[in-house]
Structure 1
Amino acid sequence: MGLPRFGRPKNDGELSSNLFVANCGSAVGLSDDDIASVFCKFGELKGVYAADESGTRVIVAYVEEGSAQAALKALHGQSCPELGGRSLHIRYSVLQPTPQDQASDLVPVSITASDVSIPGLFLVHDFISAKEEEELLQAVDCRPWNSLSKRRVQHYGYEFRYDIRNVNTRHCLGELPSFVSPILDRISSCPTFENVKNIVLDQLTVNEYPPGVGLSPHIDTHSAFEDLIFSLSLSGPCIMEFRRYENGDWLPRVASSAVAKIENPEDQSNFIRRAIYLPPRSLLLLSGEARYAWHHYIPHHKIDKVNGKVIRRASRRVSFTFRKVREGLCKCEFPQYCDSRR
């Protein structure tokens, strides 16, 4: 079950036993117990909950409405010494109904690929060293970035065309840059991966994500790229989630789409959901079922929760995604998800 959902009262002047409290939370070093120790002075508490994903706003829920009223009167707009001298901004908040399709809005986050139990999904921790990470970041920062609406990208080998969501196989940008050659050599010799020795990865997309920016749910179009897709995480961590739609209803209307997005990514009535934590310097492989049948995406969060621990996103996260451009039609074992079969 997810955390209780709260919102503003519909009517001005409406009282409540719940308070929305801004300028305190895990992101500023204040635990729920720290906050509770201050607010419990005004009455019995039901609990302290994160109000959103910022880590700087909480809901303080009382048993009695009068307790909330007393706390708001005493603490709103005041500097609180017990909470690091922070000035608290408080208003009433009301418990809202939880839609059925969002009743389980939290998914357990796995640390290893084996715990995720998706065939074809592999994760290697510390695939590169901290020094190699720094050198790769310096190499791309010396080259021009292309700015999208929320992130920056670089393309090598073949340009990924966001207007057609595909690559133009007749327009090769040249070989992949020399600074990734050691990475490609290590991939081909890594014992964790099968059937990689003979594949020549010829397309690289470098993405830079600022805090709070993720990736929308998608499956890389089958006809655009071959079976193996590698993603190297640099600089910052994130959670990657996976969704399997059993009936294939997600299939896009435009057959040429290389990133097939679902129309309502929050409708959980017909999919299986899994998640994995990607630390810096880790290498993820999508192959087989994981590559062809599961949507993957990165939630648009500034903080992530992994096994009860709050992990704040770094000032930037950079990913290197290596693919092999496909020539001809896809002949995978997942026709309900395959654009080559339509």
Structure 2
Amino acid sequence: MRDYFTVAHIMMASDSNEGVIICACKGIRTCLLCEEFKGKGQLKEAGPQVVHHFLYDPVLRLAVRQDGEPASFPFPGVFLWENFISEEEEKELISKMDRDVWNQSQSGRRKQDFGPKVNFKKRKVRFGGFSGLPGLSRDLVVRMQREPTLAGFRPVEQCNLDYHPERGSAIDPHLDDSWLWGERLVTVNMLSDTTLAMSLEQGLAELGLAEEVRVAVRLPRRSLVVLQGEARHRWKHAIHRKDIRGRRVCSTYRELSAEFLPGGQQAELGAQLLNIALSFQGTPV
């Protein structure tokens, strides 16, 4: 629906007397908006011709083969908590998020950031307008900390992302920063089911697989997922366009790395950031 893209989502610019519609996509990243108006055509997922597909079994904690002969291998570092929030909580959370401004992000997403301003290339952190995590997250963080997998989890940053199929929303395979962000990445999935695509482009030599290996981690609506260990540092994670079938909102929480914790080189800065974050008085920056 063209009218879904309001003035808040697109901007008009003048280039040699011709109107150009600009979205937030940069470089190789695209959404349905810029593909249509910039003539980039339908985005096709790049990758090798041969991909080995596995499905994550959260009970057995195995990656189970989906193509070819039956096979499986241990897949550590993923923890899935189904029904982490109730239907009533989900409704309240989304209602409160929608009262704040959603800013454009790349690949057809919208976002709300609650965290410090970071230059990862120069490894610099500044407070900017950071005033803490939002108040609506206080009870959720307490609930997380009661789970042994998340014992001692103290988030210093929260990022809300809004995905919509009409924008062609997606996020490319990537590894999160590990200079500032710590061991556990925690995401609450809301409004629709989706699939977290884990991938190793170089394959798995220990299994005799030379081509890309993908493990699909199904994320039910209102579930929480934790990535740590190999799933955090070795396997890239993504959300593909084809797996966004309805509006999806997620909140990702990140903790500090050891460098910013007691005993680390930037422990004082880390303490200041945590004091602000855990005041739960934040507004989007």
- Fold match (TM-score > 0.5): yes
Q: Distance in 2 between matches of 1:142 and 1:218?
A: 30
Give 2:55's match in structure 1, choosing from 102, 109, 117. Answer: 109
Q: Which amino acid aligns with 2:252?
A: T
Mapped pair 1:321 → 2:255: no
- Residue of structure 2 aligned with 1:120, choices 51, 60, 77: 77
Q: Secondary structure at the match of 2:183?
A: coil
**Residues 1:202 and 2:156 aligned together:** yes
- Residue 168 of structure 1 deviates from its aligned partner by 5.0
Q: Distance in 1 between matches of 2:51 and 2:201?
A: 17
Match of 1:285 among 202, 226, 238: 226
Unaligned runs of at least 5 residues, structure 2 = 1-46, 64-73, 262-285
Write the distance in 1 (CA, Å) between the matches of 2:94 and 2:118: 20
CA separation of 1:118 and 1:111: change in aligned 2, threshold 3 A: closer
RMSD: 3.0
Give the deviation of 1:199 after TM superposition.
Answer: 3.0
State the SS of the aligned residue for 1:183: helix
Give the equivalent residue in structure 1 for 2:95: 138
Partner of 1:275: 216
The superposition leaves residues 206-258 of structure 1 with CA deviations (integer Å, 9 ceiling, x where unpaired) of: 0001114221000002113000110110011111111135599xxxxxxxxxx
Counterpart residue identity of residue 328, structure 1 = E
How has the CA–CA distance of structure 1 residues 228 and 166 changed in structure 2, closer, same or farther, with 3 Å as cutoff? farther
Aligned to 1:170: 126
Tell me if structure 2 keeps the 8 A contact 1:160–1:205: no
Distance 1:141 1:101 in 2: 39
Determine what percentage of the aligned residue pairs are the same residue.
Answer: 27
1:173-219 Cα offsets, whole Å, 9 max, x none, are 0221110111100100024x1xx332311100000011142210000
* Contact 1:159/1:167 (8 A) holds in 2: no
What's the TM-score, normalizing by structure 1? 0.52
CA distance in 1, matches of 2:151, 2:131: 21
Distance of 1:244 and 1:269 partners within structure 2 = 10
Contact 2:56 2:75 in 1 (8 A): no
Letter in structure 2 aligned against 1:273: R
1:214 equivalent to 2:170? Answer yes
CA distance in 1, matches of 2:133, 2:122: 18
Higher relative contact order structure (alpha carbons within 8 Å, sequence separation ≥ 6): 2
In the alignment, structure 1 residue 155 sits paired with structure 2 residue 109: no
Q: Quick one: distance in 1 between partners of 2:48 and 2:252?
A: 32
Check whether the contact 1:166–1:224 (CA below 8 A) recurs between aligned residues.
Answer: no
Residues 198 and 214 in structure 2, CA contact (< 8 A), matched pair in contact too: yes
Identify the residue that residue 4 of structure 1 maps to in structure 2: none
Contact 1:120 1:290 in 2 (8 A): yes
Summarize the alignment of residues 1-342 of structure 1 with structure 2, pairs less than 5 Å apart: 101-104=48-51, 107-110=53-56, 112=58, 114-116=61-63, 117-149=74-106, 150-159=108-117, 169-171=125-127, 173-191=130-148, 193=149, 196-211=150-165, 212-245=168-201, 269-301=210-242, 304=243, 313-314=245-246, 316-326=247-257, 328=259
* Contiguous gaps of at least 5 residues in structure 1: 1-99, 249-267, 305-311, 331-342
Partner Cα separation in structure 2 for residue 103 and residue 182 of structure 1: 45
Cα distance, 1:159–1:270 mapped onto 2, change above 3 Å: farther
Counterparts in 2 of 1:103 and 1:246: CA distance versus 1, 3 Å? closer
2:200–2:214 Cα contact (<8 Å) kept? yes
Q: Distance in 2 between matches of 1:165 and 1:137?
A: 33
- The total of aligned residue pairs comes to 197
